[in-house]
Amino acid sequence: MKKLMLIVLGIALSTSLFGQSCLDDVWQCLRNGQPPKAKKFLDECMKSYPDNAQVWLMKGNVYYRLCESDMNKKKADPAYKPRYPNAAIEANEAFLQALKLDSKVEPKTGMMGAKLGQQALAIPIFEMGTAAMQEQNFADAIRYFTLAANNFELGAETSNAALAYYEAAVCYLQIQDPANEKLMLEKAINNGFVAPNAYVELYYLYKADNDTAKCEGILKTALNSLKDEDKILLAEPRMDYYASINDNENLISVVDEVMAGINAKGTKSAEDLNMIVICATWLNNSKAYDKAVNILNDAMAQFPNDFGLLSQMGYRYYEEMHDYMDKVKELQNQKRWNDANTINLSPEFRQLKENAHEWCEKAYQANSDNLDNNKRLRELKVLLQKEIPQELNDKINAHLKQE
């Protein structure tokens, strides 16, 4: 038994010594600035010691140096094509494997430990993600960005990790994977990423899940994080949120904030007009018709022929007209025929239809190619028994054929 133990010990010792000798050659090449030569020695080591943590750790260092060499040459000559384009990934996988085999594995003098090596690889792997994204290779880009984010987090570089997660979210958006896009946006924001479009996109992802609590939460986070001048970009999701919980008071409060900012400028820009139309849309959808008329009239005093303003004014009366129509149907369902007829024949109902027609007609004159306004206008002409121009029918039919 003693003799057998000595034989086993002898084999283990010789294997260890051979492994150290093999790694010494690799190590010396790296110290001499010869990573390609180090790779040749390493390949032999890998064949003999595929399960040795020290060998994998050295592989990580070799491939990191190959990656670094390629990057330096690329900086010196933008036309240079990397000789080892996948070296950063190979290095990262090697560092991970080393830790898997021995979580306490230590590097040779002058070499990087596994965790430090992963941190050092974060930037080159991020750059690989950027290149893949530009080539619309989104699957690889996602892989690289998430890997870079993990490596940045190892070094507590939260802002860089946040950016990497955000870029991964953009890639998931491109391939229409909302579940993973949401996950990446959450990780980006949790790491301190601050950007209006990230908050807005995450809000609508939560809305698609009917998660009202998270919708509210992300809007609060955004309002607490963004600069005052950027908060205008949250106006529409905020109005959307308040409309979804039937909170007209706060919805109108947001409109007042927006309008105060716009009016403080004096002259209104195209972006301002678009925001006024958005505000009016939410007001009309929430049946705050008088408030909608006020902000539209104020804007039209300066821009009387703007299609968006004219169309939204038509929409205001069109929506209230349909409120009357819904009431008539409700009364008819209750077999309250006289009450239904009273509303149907009332001058107020007739005036709503006339007002809606007038403004939709004005909008049509400003832009005859908007399908929504055109369909409303045709419906109103039918209700008012007015002649429908052939051009209007043709435009609507042409749009419908394209859908």
For 83-134, the DSSP string reads S-TTHHHHHHHHHHHHHHH-TT--PPTTSPPHHHHHHHHHHHHHHHHHHHHH
Asked if the structure places residue 138 within a domain, the reply is no
Domain of residue 370, residue span: 305-403
Which pLDDT belongs to residue 19? 46
Degrees (nearest 5) of the Cα angle 179, 183, 187? 170
Is 341 part of a structural domain of the chain?
Answer: yes
Is residue 361 one of the residues assigned to a domain?
yes
- Helix or strand (DSSP H, E) at 142: helix 138-154
Domain assignment present for residue 44? The answer is: no
User: Is residue 402 a part of any domain in this protein?
Assistant: yes
Find, among 311, 306, 298, the residue nearest to 356 by Cα.
Answer: 311
Q: Is the pLDDT of residue 1 over 80?
A: no
How many domains does the chain fold into?
1
| C-beta neighbour count of 331 within 10 angstroms | 18
Residue 323 lies in a domain: yes
Answer whether residue 7 shows pLDDT above 80.
Answer: no
Rounded to whole angstroms, the Cα distance separating 54 from 51 reads 9
CB count in 10 Å sphere of residue 305 = 12
Q: How confident is the model at residue 4 (pLDDT cuts 50, 70, 90)?
A: very low
Which of 30-34, 251-255, 395-399 ranks highest by mean pLDDT? 251-255
Structure tokens at 169: 């979210």
- Tell me whether residue 366 is in a domain: yes
Between the two ends of the chain, the Cα-to-Cα distance in Å is 86
pLDDT band at 6 (very low <50, low <70, confident <90, very high): very low
Alpha-carbon distance of 42 to 28, in angstroms, equals 12
Q: In this model, does residue 29 exceed pLDDT 70?
A: yes
Give 245-295 pLDDT, tens digit per residue. 999 999 999 999 999 999 888 788 899 999 999 999 999 999 999 999 999
Residue 400 is predicted with a pLDDT of 81
Query: Would you tell me how many other CB atoms lie within 10 Å of the CB of residue 190?
Result: 13
| 55 within 8 A of 49, measured Cβ to Cβ | yes
Asked if residue 174 belongs to a domain, the reply is: no
